[in-house]
C-alpha cells in the first residue's frame, strides 16, 4: 500500500490489515550496548554463566530435592566450559528461552517461586558475547526425561542452529555451555583469571562449584559459623574483613536481620573518611556476589562502615552491579541504620573506652547522625569532642563548669575571641566546624536548664571593662595617633582593661565587617564597571577594632612613647601581632604594614649596628 493511499478517514482496522511484522534484533549492536553501557567489565560473563548453572540446579532440586547440585568450570585460555547438573532444556525450550532475547523461565510462576532464582531479565547469556565468538549449549532436560539431548550453537552475528543429539552424547540431565574466545578476549579465558573471577563471584554459593578440580565454594562466611567464644568470633569476622575488603576493622557490627532477609557484617573503618565519600558495600544475592560497590545500602550518615552481606530480599538492577531502588531497599536501609545506631548506644553503656576510640576517628559521622536523629543526639552528645576555649572537651564537661555555653559560628570568630572570653570566665565552643554550631544549639534539648548563646565580636567587646575616665583622657593624644595610623586599614582603635593581662591587643570584627572588607577588596581589584557596581553595594557596617589592653605593661609603655612616629610604628606592630594571634589571613595592605613596622622596630632596636653597616 502506497503512502498516498493513507487517507485521513482510514480506520484502525484498515491500518492493521497489513500482516504484522516482528522486530529484528541486531545482535552485534545489542552486545555492544551491553558491554559498553550496562556492564562495568567483561568479567561479568563468568557471573552470568555461574548464575545460570546455579539457577538450573535450584530448578531441578525443586522437582527432585535429592538431585546432584554441582557446577564445573574449565578454562583453557581460548575456551571456557561450564557444566551443571541442573534442570536442562528441551529443543522447544532452547528456541523459546535461549534464542529469545528478554525471555526468561525465571519470571513465570508465583512471586515466591521467582524469589528462588538469581536471574530474571533474560539477557544474561548475551554477556557471553562480549568475550565469546560462539556459544554452544548442549543440554538434556530433567523435567522431560524422554526428550533427546539438544545442541544450540549461536554466533555473534545473531544466527544460531539447533539439532538434537543421540542420548549417548549427553546421557545425564543438565547443561554444558561452551564458549570460544573472541579474538582479543583470550585473557578473559585464562584458567587463573577464570578461577579468580569464579571465586570472587561464587565463593558463598550454596552448591558445589569448582574450577577444574579446585573447589570455589565450601568455606562458609564467618557469620554463619559457630565459634569457640565471642573473642574467637570477633577475630574470625575481622580476618574475613581483611581478606575481602583489605583492612582490619576498628569493630565489627553483626547484621542478622531476618525480617529484611539479611545476614552479614558492617565493618567500622579504621581511618577517617570524608562524609561525602559513599561507601562501597559488598552485596551477595543468595550467595552470588552482586557488587562490591553498592552505594545506596546504608543511610548517608553511616559513611564510617563498609558492609559485607548476603540477602535474598533485594533486587539487582539489570547490570546486576547496583541495587534496585524500591521500598524493600528503603526498608533495608532503615533497618541497617537502626542496627548501627543500636551498636553505638550499646558501646556507650558497655564499653566507653571502645566508644572513645571510635569517636576519635569518626566523630564527624556521629555528629551528622546526631543532627537528624534525636535518640542519637541524646545518647551521643555527651561523648562528642568539641574545640572550646578550655581545650578539647565534651559539652558535658563544659556544662559541669558553666551554666551558659557560648559558641561562635566561624573558626575565625573563635580565634578572635576565645582567649579573651576564657579570661573573662566565659565558656566558648568553636562552632565553625561542620555540624558543631547546630549541635551546640541543640544542647538544651539534652541538658535542660543550660543556656546557649551565640558570641560574636560585639558581645565580647561589650564584656570588656572601660578604662577609668581620667586614664582615658590621658590616653587621648596616643589614641589619636593610633587611630590615624590604622584609619587607612579601616580599623578603629579603642582601649579597654581585660584579662589575660599578658594579651596586648585583640583584633575584633564581626561578620558584616568581614563581608564589607571582602567587598572593598574585590572593588579595589575590579575593573571600572564592576568597581562601580561593587561600590554601590558599600555598607555602613561597623569597622574592625583593635582593642588595646590597658592592663598589659607593653601597651602602657607604647602609650607613653615620645613622638608620633615611634608611637605609630608600635601601634602598627601591635595590630600585626593581633592579626597573627587570631590567625587572620593578611591582606596585601596588612602584609606591607606589618613588614614595615617590624623592619622599623628592628632598626630602632639595633641603631649602632645599622649605622655601622650604612657606613
* Shortest spacing between CB 86 and ligand ATP, in angstroms: 5
Residue 170 as a binder of ligand ATP (CB under 6 A): the answer is no
Residue 89 as a binder of ligand ATP (CB under 6 A): the answer is yes
Q: Which stretch binds ligand ATP (CB under 6 A): 5-13, 81-89, 342-350, 554-562?
A: 81-89
Residue 547 as a binder of ligand ATP (CB under 6 A): the answer is no
Residue 268 as a binder of ligand ATP (CB under 6 A): the answer is no
Q: Which stretch binds ligand ATP (CB under 6 A): 84-92, 215-223, 346-354, 580-588?
A: 84-92
* Shortest spacing between CB 158 and ligand ATP, in angstroms: 15
Torsion angle of the four alpha carbons 6, 9, 14, 20, in this order, in degrees rounded to the nearest 10: 50
Which helix (DSSP H) or strand (DSSP E) does residue 415 occupy? helix 411-423
Q: Which stretch binds ligand ATP (CB under 6 A): 96-104, 294-302, 328-336, 371-379?
A: 96-104
Q: Which stretch binds ligand ATP (CB under 6 A): 117-125, 277-285, 540-548, 567-575?
A: 117-125
Residue 124 as a binder of ligand ATP (CB under 6 A): the answer is yes
**How much of the chain is helix, strand and coil, in % rounded to 5?**
45, 20, 35
CA–CA separation, 50 and 254 (whole Å): 28
Is 76 within any annotated ligand binding site?
no
Q: Decide: 199 and 218 in contact? Cβ < 8 Å.
A: no
DSSP string spanning 321-335?
A: SSB--SHHHHHHHHH
* Shorter beta-carbon distance to ligand ATP: residue 120 or 567: 120
Residue 86 as a binder of ligand ATP (CB under 6 A): the answer is yes
Which helix (DSSP H) or strand (DSSP E) does residue 235 occupy? helix 230-245
Q: Decide: 222 and 309 in contact? Cβ < 8 Å.
A: no
Residues 187-216 that bind ligand ATP (CB under 6 A): none
Residue 333 as a binder of ligand ATP (CB under 6 A): the answer is no
Residue 291 as a binder of ligand ATP (CB under 6 A): the answer is no
Residue 87 as a binder of ligand ATP (CB under 6 A): the answer is yes
Q: Which stretch binds ligand ATP (CB under 6 A): 45-53, 218-226, 403-411, 592-600?
A: 45-53
CA–CA separation, 237 and 224 (whole Å): 10
Residue 121 as a binder of ligand ATP (CB under 6 A): the answer is yes
Q: End-to-end alpha-carbon separation of the chain, Å?
A: 111
* Shortest spacing between CB 442 and ligand ATP, in angstroms: 47
Residue 598 as a binder of ligand ATP (CB under 6 A): the answer is no
Which among 406, 405, 416, 389 is positioned nearest to 514, based on CA atoms? 416
Q: Decide: 433 and 413 in contact? Cβ < 8 Å.
A: no
Which among 565, 560, 548 is positioned nearest to 485, based on CA atoms? 565
Among 85, 90, 175, 244, binds ligand ATP (CB under 6 A): 175
CA–CA separation, 129 and 126 (whole Å): 5
Close Cβ partners of 109 (under 8 Å, ≥ 6 residues apart): none
Residue 69 as a binder of ligand ATP (CB under 6 A): the answer is no
* Shorter beta-carbon distance to ligand ATP: residue 198 or 257: 198
Q: How far is CA 254 from CA 216, 265, 352, in A?
A: 25, 5, 19
Residue 500, preceding peptide bond in cis (omega within 30° of 0): yes
Residue 104 as a binder of ligand ATP (CB under 6 A): the answer is yes
Evaluate the CA torsion angle 122, 123, 128, 132 in order and state its sign.
positive
Residue 286 as a binder of ligand ATP (CB under 6 A): the answer is no
Q: How far is CA 326 from CA 175, 296, 336, in A?
A: 34, 11, 15
* Shortest spacing between CB 281 and ligand ATP, in angstroms: 21
Residue 149 as a binder of ligand ATP (CB under 6 A): the answer is no
DSSP string spanning 479-541?
A: HHHHHHHHGGGTEEEEEEE-S-TT--EEEE--HHHHHHHHHHHHHHHS-HHHHHHHHHT---P
DSSP string spanning 579-609?
A: HHHTTPPPPHHHHHHHHHHHHHHHHHHSHHH
Q: Which stretch binds ligand ATP (CB under 6 A): 8-16, 119-127, 282-290, 409-417?
A: 119-127
Close Cβ partners of 420 (under 8 Å, ≥ 6 residues apart): 460, 464, 498, 499, 500, 503, 506
* Shortest spacing between CB 196 and ligand ATP, in angstroms: 21
Residue 122 as a binder of ligand ATP (CB under 6 A): the answer is yes
Residue 123 as a binder of ligand ATP (CB under 6 A): the answer is yes
* Shortest spacing between CB 9 and ligand ATP, in angstroms: 46
Is 248 within any annotated ligand binding site?
no
Q: Which stretch binds ligand ATP (CB under 6 A): 52-60, 496-504, 518-526, 549-557?
A: 52-60
Among 35, 58, 85, 105, binds ligand ATP (CB under 6 A): 105
Is 552 within any annotated ligand binding site?
no
Is 48 within any annotated ligand binding site?
yes
* Shorter beta-carbon distance to ligand ATP: residue 97 or 345: 97
* Shortest spacing between CB 47 and ligand ATP, in angstroms: 9
Residue 497 as a binder of ligand ATP (CB under 6 A): the answer is no
* Shortest spacing between CB 88 and ligand ATP, in angstroms: 6
Upper half-sphere CA count for residue 454 (Cβ side, 13 Å): 15
Q: Which stretch binds ligand ATP (CB under 6 A): 83-91, 268-276, 336-344, 448-456?
A: 83-91
Strand partners, 508: 545
Q: Give the residue numbers of the binding site for ATP.
A: 48, 52, 84, 175
Q: Give the residue numbers of the binding site.
A: 48, 52, 84, 175
The residues binding ligand ATP (CB under 6 A) are 48, 51-53, 56, 84, 86-89, 97-98, 104-106, 119-125, 175
Amino acid at each position: 500500500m502506497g503512502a498516498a493511499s493513507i487517507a485521513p478517514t482510514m480506520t484502525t482496522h484498515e491500518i492493521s490489515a497489513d500482516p504484522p511484522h516482528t522486530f529484528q534484533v541486531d545482535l552485534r549492536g545489542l552486545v555492544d550496548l551491553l558491554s559498553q553501557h550496562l556492564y562495568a567489565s567483561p568479567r561479568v560473563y563468568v557471573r552470568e554463566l555461574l548464575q545460570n548453572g546455579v539457577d538450573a540446579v535450584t530448578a531441578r532440586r525443586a522437582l527432585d530435592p535429592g538431585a546432584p547440585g554441582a557446577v564445573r568450570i574449565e578454562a583453557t585460555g581460548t575456551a571456557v566450559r561450564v557444566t551443571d547438573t541442573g534442570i536442562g532444556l528441551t529443543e522447544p525450550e532452547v528456541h523459546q528461552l535461549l534464542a529469545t532475547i528478554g525471555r526468561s523461565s525465571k519470571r513465570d510462576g508465583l512471586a515466591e517461586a521467582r524469589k528462588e532464582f538469581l536471574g530474571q531479565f533474560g539477557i544474561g547469556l548475551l554477556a557471553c558475547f562480549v568475550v565469546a565468538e560462539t556459544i554452544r549449549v548442549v543440554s538434556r532436560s530433567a523435567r522431560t526425561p524422554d526428550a533427546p539431548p539438544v545442541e544450540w550453537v549461536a554466533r555473534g552475528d545473531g544466527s544460531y542452529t539447533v539439532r538434537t543429539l543421540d542420548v549417548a552424547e549427553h546421557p545425564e540431565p543438565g547443561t554444558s555451555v561452551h564458549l570460544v574466545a573472541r579474538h582479543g578476549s583470550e585473557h578473559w579465558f585464562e584458567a587463573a583469571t577464570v578461577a579468580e573471577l569464579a571465586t570472587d563471584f561464587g565463593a558463598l554459593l550454596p552448591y558445589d562449584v569448582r574450577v577444574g578440580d579446585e573447589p570455589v565454594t565450601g568455606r562458609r562466611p564467618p557469620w554463619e559459623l559457630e565459634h569457640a567464644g565471642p573473642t574467637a568470633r570477633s577475630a574470625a569476622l575481622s580476618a574475613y574483613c581483611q581478606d575481602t575488603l583489605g583492612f582490619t576493622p576498628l569493630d565489627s557490627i553483626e547484621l542478622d536481620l531476618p525480617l529484611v532477609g539479611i545476614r552479614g557484617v558492617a565493618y567500622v573503618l579504621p581511618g577517617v573518611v570524608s562524609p561525602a565519600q559513599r561507601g562501597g558495600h559488598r552485596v551477595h544475592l543468595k550467595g552470588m556476589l552482586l557488587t562490591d560497590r553498592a552505594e545506596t545500602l546504608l543511610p548517608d550518615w553511616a559513611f564510617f562502615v563498609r558492609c559485607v552481606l548476603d540477602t535474598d530480599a533485594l533486587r539487582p538492577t539489570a547490570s546486576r552491579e547496583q541495587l534496585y531502588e524500591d521500598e524493600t531497599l528503603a526498608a533495608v536501609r532503615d533497618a541497617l541504620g537502626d542496627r548501627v545506631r543500636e551498636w553505638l548506644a550499646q558501646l556507650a553503656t558497655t564499653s566507653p573506652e571502645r566508644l572513645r576510640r571510635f569517636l576519635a576517628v569518626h566523630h564527624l559521622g556521629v555528629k551528622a547522625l546526631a543532627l537528624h536523629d534525636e535518640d542519637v543526639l541524646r545518647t551521643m552528645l555527651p561523648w562528642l569532642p568539641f574545640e572550646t576555649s578550655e581545650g578539647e572537651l565534651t559539652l558535658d564537661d563544659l556544662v559541669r563548669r558553666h551554666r551558659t555555653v557560648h559558641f561562635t559560628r566561624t573558626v575565625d570568630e573563635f580565634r578572635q575571641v576565645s582567649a579573651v572570653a576564657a579570661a573573662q570566665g566565659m565558656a566558648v565552643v568553636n562552632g565553625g566546624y561542620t555540624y558543631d554550631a547546630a549541635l551546640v544549639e541543640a544542647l538544651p534539648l539534652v541538658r535542660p536548664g543550660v543556656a546557649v548563646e551565640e558570641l560574636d565580636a560585639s558581645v565580647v567587646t561589650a564584656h570588656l571593662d572601660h578604662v577609668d575616665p581620667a586614664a582615658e583622657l590621658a590616653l587621648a593624644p596616643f589614641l589619636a595617633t593610633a587611630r590615624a595610623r590604622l584609619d587607612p586599614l579601616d580599623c578603629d582603635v579603642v582601649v579597654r582593661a581585660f584579662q589575660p593581662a599578658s594579651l596586648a591587643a585583640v583584633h575584633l570584627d564581626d561578620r558584616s565587617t568581614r563581608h564589607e572588607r571582602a567587598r572593598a577588596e574585590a572593588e579595589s581589584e575590579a575593573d571600572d564597571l564592576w568597581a562601580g557596581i561593587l561600590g554601590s553595594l558599600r555598607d555602613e557596617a561597623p569597622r574592625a577594632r583593635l582593642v588595646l589592653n590597658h592592663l598589659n605593661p607593653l601597651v602602657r609603655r607604647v602609650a607613653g612613647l615620645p613622638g608620633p612616629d615611634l608611637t605609630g610604628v608600635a601601634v602598627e606592630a601591635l595590630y600585626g601581632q593581633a592579626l597573627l594571634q587570631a590567625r587572620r589571613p593578611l591582606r596585601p595592605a596588612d602584609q606591607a604594614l606589618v613588614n614595615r613596622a617590624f623592619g622599623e622596630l628592628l632598626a630602632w632596636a639595633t641603631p649602632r649596628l645599622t649605622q655601622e653597616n650604612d657606613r
